[in-house]
Amino acid sequence: MHAAKTLAAPVVLERRTRAGRDARQDGRLQAHVQQGLNLFLPLKTRAQMPALLEQLKLQQDVVNQALAGLHYVHFARFLPSPDGSTLMVITVFDGDLQSYLMDFVAVLGEVFNLILEFVRGAPPLPVQAYPRAFCEFVDAHNVVEVQPWAAYPSMTVLDILGARLDD
């Protein structure tokens, strides 16, 4: 018979500042921590998915570098639907969606222009020239009913990075 294993209690990461901790506890900042973007982008034709995925692979280093510089993105990924008709952009970020999108227009606008060339009903391009239309498009194609689950739901990227850097 196997001996039962005792699991260690989870480590609780402390907030970096008292003001931040107090704001989290009373809920003032909770609405802006770990927000989900579940963006569904229908392609013009399914046959385009392989070419789009190849373009995304070529842009991976650019995207990774940009994400490292934006200290509020927990993660981002591109996921093709099984039938190849839709590209899903799935991210978790801190802050409000409008500011998040404006930063992406500024930092990764060219990548989004490339992606949106494949998308049915895309907003006017380039997104840098039409940021409001881009935001309206994202709003219309974002599934908000399901938000992320998280191991540290009240912690921002900076909180998590700070805790890791202190180790």
pTM of structure: 0.71
Cα–Cα distance, 9 to 96 (Å, whole number) = 33
Q: Exposed/middle/buried for 50, CB within 10 Å: 0-12, 13-18, 19+?
A: exposed
Which contacts qualify for 110-113: CB closer than 8 Å, 24 or more apart? 111/59, 111/62, 111/63
**How confident is the model over 45-90, as pLDDT tens digits?**
999 999 999 999 999 999 888 888 776 666 788 999 999 999 999 9
**Residue 95 CB-density burial (10 A; 0-12 exposed, 13-18 middle, 19+ buried):** middle
pLDDT tens, residue by residue, 105-157: 898 999 999 999 999 999 999 999 999 999 999 999 998 766 665 656 566 65
Contact 123, 136 (CB under 8 A): yes
Q: Which residue has the higher pLDDT, 91 or 28?
A: 91
Architecture of the domain made up of 32-162: 2-Layer Sandwich (3.30)
**What is residue 30's DSSP assignment?**
G
Domain edges within the chain? 32-162
